[in-house]
Structure 1
Amino acid sequence: MGRLMALLILVIPGILATIGIKIMRDALFGVFYPIFFYLGIQFFLGLIFFLGGLSFIAGFIFYRDKKRNLTKGKGRSKKKR
């Protein structure tokens, strides 16, 4: 059950990033969706979707690797003695 939840947590931002890429591509080629007022707004919202999904997936992978000590010291806080 835990692995299924982790998969769903990764799939939803992946779908958002894919939708963001599609919206940006359509804005560049002039395909206009009526829910947006201008093509610039459409492109900007697609960029937000893409960067949000990508950053969530990257943060999830980085957190998992940091927990398993696979980051070679990157991102760890240095303890003062």
Structure 2
Amino acid sequence: MARFLAFLVLLIPGIMAAAGIKFMRDTLFADLLAPFPALWLQFITGALFLTVSLWFFAGFLLHRDRKRGKVQKRFVK
């Protein structure tokens, strides 16, 4: 059950990152999607989605590795 919950916790940022990449790609090809009034807003939203999801994923991995003692000395609290 714990592994399934961890999978779900990581699935949401993964979907968010994929959506962020799609928003930025569509902006690059000048394809404006429905909820966005301007291309620059679509790109900023995509970059924000990608950044937040990568930040969450990296923090999750760092927390897990700290618990297992698999980090370098500079990352130990």
- What is the SS of the residue equivalent to 1:74? helix
Q: Please say which of residues 35-44 and 65-74 is displaced more in the overlay.
A: 65-74
Q: TM-score, normalised by structure 2?
A: 0.94
Residue 71 (str. 1) matches residue 62 (str. 2): no
Which has the larger share of helix? 2
**Percent identical across equivalent pairs?**
43
Deviation at 1:3, TM superposition (A): 0.7
Deviation at 1:72, TM superposition (A): 1.9
Residue 13 (str. 1) matches residue 19 (str. 2): no
Paired AA for residue 21 in structure 1: I
* Greater C-alpha radius of gyration: 1
Q: TM-score, normalised by structure 1?
A: 0.90
Residue 60 (str. 1) matches residue 60 (str. 2): yes
Which stretches in structure 2 are left out of the alignment for 5+ residues? none
**In the alignment, which residue of structure 2 is the partner of 1:49?**
49
Paired AA for residue 62 in structure 2: F
- The RMSD of aligned alpha carbons is 0.9
State how many pairs are aligned: 77
**In the alignment, which residue of structure 2 is the partner of 1:25?**
25
Q: Once superposed, which parts of structure 1, at least 4 consecutive aligned residues long, lie more than 6 Å away?
A: none
